[in-house]
């Protein structure tokens, strides 16, 4: 192999730059030229790509976001869009593509592979919903950001005997919310995977109030049946059900911004290096992930369209610990 390319796609995640750096430098170590594609699949379609040197990826390890830019491309979802992408890769004589991203991005990578183009995916999303990796790039940093907010909210909540609905990201997957609830000592958690009606939440919070808790923290995944806004709207007209006064905080994209922590830098570096190792071994159409402490490859066909399930034990534990 002489030439490969790398792109970042979908929602950015802290640690993506460390993964890009690892792909470029380990690729150069294999004797290859490495092209960076700007703005994900959109850049593949427009042919926006250029060679990256080892120096070009210097000083980015600690930076949040992605130096290549990211996008969610509607055109790439069409066959015509993907054909344009493959033509541009061929024009630049690129022999393989590394896709750093989450579920949607790896589905795109699988489509390219099915059309005959060699690809390797790198597991990256703050949602931690990707099958084929126990943990993905960005999760740890995003979780720590959510925890910092929860820790701060607890102090002001206690001062005023308030309940807080704290909304974290996760449209379809409640991993971030569940992990933040456990690590943040929340009184309740609302997940997309498990529906909870306002009356049930009210009963839990009221019971906490009666037990003498000075505050109640509810971690809400944005994709829960009742997100923070909807739940707050219900309690506007049912104030008496809680005991506590109620406030709402949405952390949102703050979780995706900022510098990656040590765990994400190391994970991203190992996965990026794992991608070029996989290519050097001749593996194609696989996701490079982290399973049981090892860097692994899983065929993309086995992971696309699947969402990693929440650990039922963690769900149970969150409830027990909230007492
Ligand atoms: O997939 C990562 C993620 O941050 C989700 O948690 C969230 O639902 C979504 O991206 C937000 O997407 P966007 O940045 O396009 O608004």
Bigger pLDDT: 310 vs 238? 310
Which atom from ligand 1 is nearest to the alpha carbon of 104? 1
Pocket flag, ligand 1, residue 85 (CB < 6 Å): no
pLDDT band at 321 (very low <50, low <70, confident <90, very high): very high
Query: What is the mean predicted confidence (pLDDT) over 156-183?
Result: 97
Which atom from ligand 1 is nearest to the alpha carbon of 126? 2
DSSP 135-182: S-BTHHHHHHHHHHHHHHHHHHHHHHTEEEEEEE--SS--HHHHHHHH
- What integer pLDDT is reported at residue 147 of this predicted model? 98
Pocket flag, ligand 1, residue 101 (CB < 6 Å): no
Which atom from ligand 1 is nearest to the alpha carbon of 129? 1
Q: Cβ distance 128 to 173 under 8 Å?
A: yes
- What mean pLDDT, rounded, does the chain reach? 96
Bigger pLDDT: 1 vs 255? 255
Model pLDDT for residues 98-146, shown as the tens digit of each residue: 999 999 999 999 999 999 999 999 999 999 999 999 999 999 999 999 9
pTM of the model: 0.96
Both tokens assigned to 243:
């005991």
Pocket flag, ligand 1, residue 169 (CB < 6 Å): yes
- What integer pLDDT is reported at residue 119 of this predicted model? 98
CB atoms within 10 A of CB 31: 9
pLDDT more than 70, % of the chain: 100
Distance 127 CA to ligand 1 centre (A): 8
- What integer pLDDT is reported at residue 239 of this predicted model? 80
Model pLDDT for residues 184-242, shown as the tens digit of each residue: 999 999 999 999 999 999 999 999 999 999 999 999 999 999 999 999 999 988 888 88
- What integer pLDDT is reported at residue 308 of this predicted model? 94
Distance 54 CA to ligand 1 centre (A): 30
Mutation choice for ligand 1 from 146, 171, 176, 179, CB with most ligand atoms inside 8 A: 171
Distance 11 CA to ligand 1 centre (A): 5
- What integer pLDDT is reported at residue 143 of this predicted model? 98
| CA dist., res. 174 & res. 191, Å (int) | 5
Q: Is the model's pLDDT at 25 over the cut of 90?
A: yes
- What integer pLDDT is reported at residue 1 of this predicted model? 81
pLDDT band at 13 (very low <50, low <70, confident <90, very high): very high
Query: SS3 of 71, please?
Result: coil
CB atoms within 10 A of CB 271: 29
- What integer pLDDT is reported at residue 323 of this predicted model? 84
pLDDT more than 90, % of the chain: 97
127 catalytic? Reply is yes
- What integer pLDDT is reported at residue 241 of this predicted model? 87
């Amino acid at each position: 192999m002489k030439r490969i390319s790398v792109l970042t796609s979908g929602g950015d995640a802290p640690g993506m730059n460390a993964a890009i750096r690892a792909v470029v430098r380990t690729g150069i170590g294999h004797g290859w030229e490495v092209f960076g594609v700007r703005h994900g699949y959109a850049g593949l379609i427009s042919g926006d790509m250029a060679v990256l040197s080892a120096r070009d990826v210097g000083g980015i390890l600690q930076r949040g976001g992605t130096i290549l830019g990211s996008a969610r491309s509607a055109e790439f979802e069409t066959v015509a869009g993907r054909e344009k992408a493959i033509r541009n890769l061929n024009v630049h004589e690129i022999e393989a593509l590394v896709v750093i991203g989450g579920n949607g991005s790896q589905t795109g990578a699988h489509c390219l592979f099915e059309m005959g183009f060699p690809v390797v995916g790198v597991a990256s999303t703050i949602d931690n919903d990707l099958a084929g990796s126990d943990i993905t790039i960005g999760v740890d940093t995003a979780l720590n950001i959510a925890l910092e907010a929860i820790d701060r909210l607890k102090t002001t909540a206690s001062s005023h005997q308030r309940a807080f609905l704290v909304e974290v990201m996760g449209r379809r997957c409640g991993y971030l919310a569940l992990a933040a609830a456990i690590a943040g000592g929340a009184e309740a958690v609302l997940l997309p995977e498990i529906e909870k009606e306002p009356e049930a939440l009210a009963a839990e919070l009221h019971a906490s109030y009666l037990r003498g808790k000075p505050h109640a923290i509810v971690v809400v995944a944005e994709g829960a049946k009742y997100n923070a806004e909807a739940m707050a709207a219900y309690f506007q007209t049912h104030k008496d059900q809680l005991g506590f006064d109620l406030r709402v905080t949405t952390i949102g994209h703050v979780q995706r911004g900022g510098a990656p922590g040590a765990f994400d830098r190391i994970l991203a570096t190992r996965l990026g290096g794992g991608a070029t190792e996989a290519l050097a071994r001749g593996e194609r159409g696989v996701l490079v992930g982290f399973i049981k402490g090892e860097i692994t490859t899983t065929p993309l066909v086995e992971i696309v369209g699947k969402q990693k399930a929440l650990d039922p034990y963690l769900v149970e534990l969150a409830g027990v610990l909230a007492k």
